Amino acid sequence: MGNKYKTLKQVSEALNKGEITSTDLSKEAVELSNKLNAELNCYTTITKELADELSQKSDERRKEKKALSPIDGIPMSIKDVISTKGVRTTAGSKMLENYIPEYNSTVYQKLIENGGVLIGKNNCDPFAFGGSGENSGYGPTKNPICLSKVPGGSSSGSASSVKAGLTYFSIGTDTGGSIRQPASLTGLSGLKLTYGRNSRYGLIAMASSLDTPGILANTVEDIAIVEDIIKGYDEKDSTTKKPGNDFSFVDSLNKDIKDLTIGLPKEYFIDGMDQDVKNTILEAAKKFEKLGCKIQEVSLPHTEYALPVYYLIVPSEISSNMGRYDGFRYGNSDENSKDIAEYIKNSRSVLEDEVKRRIIIGTFALSKGYSDQYYKKAMQVRSLIKKDFDDVYKNVDVILTPTSPTVAWDIGEKVDDPLKMYLADIFTVTANLTGMPGLSINAGYKTITPRKQDVDINGNPCTKLPIGMQLFAPMWREDLLMSLGNSFQKAYPELI
């Protein structure tokens, strides 16, 4: 909405040709971010001074024809759960309102080393706990295509900043759909990588066995460009993939997709889902058929247990990870307390309601007498869910599903009903429970009759809302997602 150049690739080529400078791009991005953030609330911090410094250095390199990478000099944003040295990192929570890290996360370090220009830190649900962007301690993020609607969460600010044209890509995190769902609700492309593809070092942890940093951008091609920079083994994260058996994401974009078999799981087309969403995804399957793919119905019988399993495992890991925020080691400190118990209680009083809710659920699930009944059983069912997918991948190459059961909903519509909110993750959590990669791209639109409040960031009536489709692939086979996603977007550019 705010950029002359639609995609990262286009602006990279413009920089190479000297049509524009990084300094000009950065200045425009910062000015527009400051202007629109009052409405969108997609940033917790805008980094003007840092952006000026990084863009000037990029222009100097280009004068000497020493550009570092395709992202050199290009504005980007980073979800505020990702550590950035010297830049406030709040995790969307008042608990860390004044926290300034002394080190960079690995993904951010790689971006900076390749010339990326940080415009700001993106607002998000606190500690990434949420699916709508409404739980942040700094207020809800709005959807730039329809300001009355949520942009999805927890990477809400990341999606909002890219869709509004404030940056060309953003790094988010995905623990249960927090990249893919915002991509779906805003009409972007969003990639959740295989667990271990990208380093988690420097991420403020939510659920350590599921957290995955990934990318939100306008196109699959843009995602591939960025992922080739941030992927890879990191000695600081023992869960990352060891060197070897890797591939170029960019080189995977144009691989032939003819004769690939796409599975349609019957369990993902459930009663109660938006009929427009269902019809659009089935139509997308037909479009893949026209591109030469084969469509086959498949069954994932343990799908119905995925959401309850997720909401036992994740709060349990949250309960453990959140123990460090006691006012002594990390977080808000209440120095007027009379004793230690009061100190911890008062220090933690600033935690947002959704954070408290998940800590309580997790603590209960891990408590004596219940851990075997809940947490251990959930881990066993998690293994069954993974086996379902492993079995299906013996007969199909990828799996196609809706990303979200609905289009973007009104801000405030579900905040008083946590269960209804959690159901929005029903199609995305399996990728995190199994570790497999998932890509969401726009598949079409739902036509709506706009109300007075249904306007975009430019004040125009919102008459349609995007519908995301999701492609799953076996672990380490993101190359299939890149080729399928790119082929679809090249065939149907009107959906970008």
The set of catalytic residues is: 79, 154, 178
SS3 235: coil
Contact 90, 318 (CB under 8 A): no
What is the distance of C-alpha 385 from the center of its chain? Answer: 22
State how far the alpha carbon of 144 is from the alpha carbons of 147, 153, 164, 385, in Å: 6, 14, 6, 36
3-state SS, residue 11:
helix
Residue reference for tokens 């002594």: 328
The residues facing 438 across adjacent strands are: 192, 472
What phi and psi values does residue 404 have, to the nearest 5 degrees? -130, 145
| Residues ≥6 apart with Cβ < 8 Å to 377 | none
Element housing 194 (H / E): none
- Residue 68: which H helix or E strand, with range? none
Residues 444, 445, 450, CA angle at the centre, nearest 5°?
A: 170
Token pair in block for residue 103 = 């080190």
> For residue 41, what are its two tokens?
């609330």
Strands 212-217 and 189-192: what pairing? antiparallel
> Measuring CA to CA, which residue among 89, 115, 142 is closest to residue 25?
115
Return d(Cα 421, Cα 129) in angstroms, integer: 11
Q: Using an 8 Å Cβ cutoff, are 407 and 274 in contact?
A: yes
- What is the spatial distance between Cα 126 and Cα 489, in angstroms, rounded to a whole number? 33
Buried residues in 391-408 as b, exposed as e (16+ CB within 10 A): ebbeebbbbbbbbbbbbb
153 neighbors 181 (Cβ within 8 angstroms): yes
Cis peptide before 154 (omega within 30 of 0): yes
Distance, in Å, from the CA atom of 453 to the CA atom of 444, rounded to the nearest integer, reads: 23
